[in-house]
Amino acid sequence: MEPSQNTPGIPAGPARPTLLTVLCILSFIGGVYGIINGLTTYRHAETSSAIVSSALDSAQVEIKKEAADNKKASQIADSVISGVSDILDPAKMKKNALYTILANILTLGGAYLMFQLKKPGFWLYLAGTAVAVLAPIMVYGATNIMSIGMSAVIGFFGILFAVLYSLNLKYMK
């Protein structure tokens, strides 16, 4: 006698599409990594800032020598160095780390709900993505070239995943 597909007494739920399963697993991995990274950044902000600032100071002298002949290159280098210096402020690093943790908790919760085929998870995921995209701009400012770059990269992947998740909304309740 062959085993039945359904266990007696346990109703079979709707099948979760493979794409949704893969997206949720990737979101779980990314969310856990993001939370760990946020906690680590928060905890070690002063040390990280001091180490990278020291390296940046050394590099800044070399960059200024190389860009001395080209005014446009010198302006771009100053803008990037200023942006990096602002990002290395320990208080701002901690604030951004808290936003990162919040964003990852929201996206993890959303991915979990979508894994359970619950549509509110999609909206929770979008909220987490919005926090992740807006956080660098809120913390470091809209004129900081580095915060714009961070938001652009986060936004690209956030939009990509949101579009892929939206393709599976028809399977969710």
- Residue 102 and residue 68: Cα distance in Å, rounded? 43
What six digits make up the tokens of 165?
């998740």
Return the closest-CA partner of residue 92 out of 136, 130, 37: 136
CA distances from 80 to 25, 86, 147 (A): 35, 10, 10
**By the 8 A CB rule, do 94 and 42 touch?**
yes
Of 8-17, 21-30, 50-59, 60-69, where does mean pLDDT reach its minimum?
8-17
What six digits make up the tokens of 123?
């909206």
**3-state SS class at 163:** helix
What six digits make up the tokens of 70?
């080209």
Q: What's the whole-model pTM score?
A: 0.82
Which amino acid appears at position 109 of this protein? Answer: G
Model confidence pLDDT, tens digit, residues 103-149:
999 999 999 999 999 999 999 999 999 999 999 999 999 998 889 99
**By the 8 A CB rule, do 157 and 146 touch?**
no
**By the 8 A CB rule, do 155 and 133 touch?**
yes
